[in-house]
């Protein structure tokens, strides 16, 4: 069986890929995810085995690219009409809960950073690992150890 030209693959499966992208990220970002899907697929297409289920392969890529687009959207800055005169308490953890801030400061650096990057900034452990210079498993462990220490010590600070 001969592998069809990539243009035929796009024509045959483009609507399915768009539906997947639409379901994962909604109508606003679906076309970006669709484009990313086919760019990724185009790069990998020459290596695709002839007996591969192309539609399933594309749906898998579409799902992953749509998640990437969604994550990127959640990290984009949102423009505002004006800058608030008073600082938002959410921006200053010490203003909201000085005891929690103190407990965070007592954590070892890697634990504090892993907790902040994952639980506050929402970064995945793979990205945290790059920042901290370790493996995703080590980043996950550092965050878990930091949370465990906070659970153990944070409420003790109040007594």
DSSP 118-152: IIIS---HHHHHHHHTS-HHHHHHHHHHHHHHHHH
Q: Which of 20-34, 39-53, 55-69, 89-103 has the lowest average pLDDT?
A: 89-103
Q: Return the pLDDT at 117.
A: 82
Position 54 confidence tier, pLDDT thresholds 50, 70, 90: very high
Q: Return the pLDDT at 90.
A: 52
Q: Which of 1-15, 33-47, 74-88, 142-156 has the lowest average pLDDT?
A: 74-88
Phi, psi at residue 6, to the nearest 5°?
Answer: -60, -35
DSSP-assigned states of every residue in 3-24: PPPHHHHHHHHHHHHHHHHHHH
Which pTM does this prediction carry?
Answer: 0.50
HSE value, Cβ hemisphere, 13 Å, CA-based, for 149: 19
Q: Return the pLDDT at 23.
A: 85
């Amino acid at each position: 069986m001969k592998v069809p030209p990539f243009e035929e693959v796009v024509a045959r499966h483009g609507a399915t890929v768009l539906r997947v992208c639409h379901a994962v990220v909604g109508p606003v970002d679906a076309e970006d995810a669709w484009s990313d899907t086919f760019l990724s697929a185009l790069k990998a297409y020459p290596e695709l085995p002839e007996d591969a289920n192309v539609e399933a392969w594309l749906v898998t890529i579409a799902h992953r690219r749509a998640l990437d687009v969604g994550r990127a959207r959640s990290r984009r800055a949102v423009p505002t009409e004006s800058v608030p005169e008073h600082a938002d308490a959410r921006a200053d953890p010490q203003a909201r809960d000085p005891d929690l801030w103190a407990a965070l400061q007592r954590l070892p650096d890697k634990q504090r950073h892993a907790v902040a990057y994952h639980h506050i900034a929402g970064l995945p452990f793979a990205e945290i690992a790059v920042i901290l210079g370790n493996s995703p498993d080590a980043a996950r462990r550092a965050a878990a150890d930091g949370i465990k220490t906070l659970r153990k010590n944070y409420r003790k600070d109040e007594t």
